[in-house]
Amino acid sequence: MGLRVITTDFAFGRHGRMSNLYKQCRTLFWRRDVCTSSSSMSAPVRYPVQKDGRTTVHVLNSLTAAHDRKSAKKEPLLLMNKNVATWFACGPTVYDSAHIGHASSYVRFDIIRRILAEFFQTSVVMVMGITDIDDKIIRRSHEQNLKDFRELAGFYEREFYQDMQHLNVLPATVYTRVSDHIPEILTFIDSIIKNGYGYSTSSGSVYFNVDAFTLERYDKLASQDLDVQHDEGKEFIDPEKRHPRDFALWKGVKPGEPWWDAPWGKGRPGWHIECSAMSKAIFGERLDIHTGGRDLAFPHHNNEIAQCEACFNSNQWANYFLHSGHLYRKYDADKMSKSLQNVVSIQDFLKTYTPNQFRFLCLMSKYDHDLEYGPDTMQQAVVLHRQMSAFLNDADAYVKGQICCKPFNEAELMQRLETTREEVIEALADDFDTKRALDCIMKLAHTCNSNFSQVSEDTSGRSPGAVAAVATYINQVLSNLGLHMSTRSSTQFDQSSQAMTVALDTLVNFRQDVRRWALTDQEDHGISSVSQSSHGDSDDVRQRRRKLMKERAPLLNACDHVRDTLTQNGIQIKDRGATATWEFVEKQKPVKTEDETDR
């Protein structure tokens, strides 16, 4: 049974008091010995894991690979608690609609979450932070003449949840909003100041003192100029800021901006402190996994690490940082970004393609690799989805005796199935290599397809059990990766679906009988098929064949019309010699050309 989804609406009451369920979730992971002001630093513990916390998964950890990913070695994924992974994911800044660049990151990490749960029996407790206080939100609220920034943030937060649902992304165990965690943020900042790593200014702002923290400790994920904090904007020239690399923990109040009371003066949280404080609110001082897009590694995640280590007086906070690659539009040198005005919203994308097709696109490469979006790559995803659907439907038809083909070597097929199981687990354990895992199951499907394509009238030596085992396994793998494959068998769970299946079977069989009669002359045994001729036929035979073809053409045209109409409505009929089968296919939407996608 899955964990209950807890939103911050449920977690906090009207007056900010936490609900009992929220407290229980927080207490499960929270240690009371964090955020102390002791000057003694705890000994560095690389992987504070309990006995049997080891998994068979190896990952490329950004903590050890940030400076040289090409030569970095993958590390074993070790968890603090056996079969339980604590995971904090950076969520959206809700000032505008999400685009498919965002979606690629969320879908890729959703796939990893499913892999840990379904293939490696790990219960994942995921917290996703929602940034609903930010410069962009405030600016957009002013542009739209909104009195309360929460109107804008609330609208786009709800839209984000809808987008994720449409893309079949599992909801987080807990969603945490910045605006619901101001008390926790203030406590977090106060601990940093008391521990000697923060300073306040006369304007009411508070900065993190990187020099006091030392560059050696600070440089965890930085792969660029440490003297530049790209997210700080105008704060870079704050005269009371001691060094350009120092970053804001608390921003002093400015005219027209929301504010909260704080010991240092009215203001609002800085960007980086939000995630650190919200993670601590649920998980305490330790965290297994932290994820986000690669662009968040520096400065955001780097600063999160510094804040947590400064607050907790420790040398280790999160054990693993995983970063997803960027999504690029074809021919664009820069990643998809709202600031570059080269985005495709999730809603617009789904007018042309399906959630399954987008997920296949994400599965076709490793999560940390860049992803190219364009007609060519989407066509590859469409074809891959179509091939997998076709195999599952053909396998279902074969098991039900509707396909007569070359006999299978059952022993070889079952051995191939077992080998594929091992190869898939090996691929997924290797830093979640979904591309290799997909290749493995595609090869297994092709093994069956090679037999399906060889039509045979011989019905002896059938292997429905072995083929069903292969199809069940492949469908299970795809389902575990978050793909909902529409197959004939998937409709047979309720009365209406069963009735539709019977109706389609009857229609397809009737159509096949009509085609068979229309293509065969039953009166003159000298003509075996109306549509076939040979050089030895007499003039009378050829003349009769032409006459029959003309007479029966309306029947064949009607059969074609039935097939084409069903195809347009997501049901494909496949004629297989003496038999015919049907299957569900996703309706084909008009695909934009390269020129149209650039408009």
pLDDT at residue 224, rounded to an integer: 57
Confidence of residue 332 (pLDDT cuts 50, 70, 90): confident
Nearest to 204 by CA among 280, 262, 161: 262
Q: Which domains does the chain have, with CATH numbers?
A: 57-371 (3.40.50.620), 374-487 (1.10.730), 495-584 (no CATH)
- Within 10 A of 111 (CB to CB), how many other CB atoms are there? 22
* Beta bridge pairs of residue 85: 124
Please state, in angstroms and rounded to a whole number, the distance separating the CA atoms of residues 266 and 218. 28
Q: What are phi and psi for residue 35, nearest 5 degrees? A: 60, 35
Q: Rounded mean pLDDT of 265-272?
A: 96
pLDDT at residue 52, rounded to an integer: 58
* Beta bridge pairs of residue 128: 89, 175
pLDDT at residue 420, rounded to an integer: 98
Query: What is the tens place of the pLDDT at every residue in 492-515?
Result: 555 566 777 788 888 888 888 888
pLDDT at 48 over 50: no
pLDDT at residue 310, rounded to an integer: 98
The structure's pTM equals 0.80
H or E segment and range at residue 599: none
Determine the 3-state secondary structure of 361 from DSSP: helix
pLDDT at residue 530, rounded to an integer: 52
- Within 10 A of 331 (CB to CB), how many other CB atoms are there? 9
pLDDT at 523 over 80: no
Please state, in angstroms and rounded to a whole number, the distance separating the CA atoms of residues 509 and 579. 8
State the DSSP code for 6.
B
Q: Rounded mean pLDDT of 400-407?
A: 88
H or E segment and range at residue 44: none
pLDDT at residue 589, rounded to an integer: 60
Q: Rounded mean pLDDT of 166-177?
A: 98
Q: Average per-residue pLDDT in the chain?
A: 84
Range of weakest confidence among 34-43, 312-321, 335-344, 538-547: 34-43
Q: DSSP readout, 358-401?
A: HHHHHHTS-TTS-EEESHHHHHHHHHHHHHHHHHHHHHHHHHTT
Query: What is the tens place of the pLDDT at every residue in 288-322?
Result: 999 999 999 999 999 999 999 999 999 999 999 99
Please state, in angstroms and rounded to a whole number, the distance separating the CA atoms of residues 563 and 410. 34
Percent of the chain with pLDDT over 70: 81
Query: What is the tens place of the pLDDT at every residue in 553-580?
Result: 888 888 888 888 888 887 888 887 777 8
Query: What is the tens place of the pLDDT at every residue in 201-226?
Result: 999 999 999 999 998 899 888 655 55
pLDDT at 49 over 50: no
Q: Rounded mean pLDDT of 426-433?
A: 98
Residue with tokens 């389609």: 504
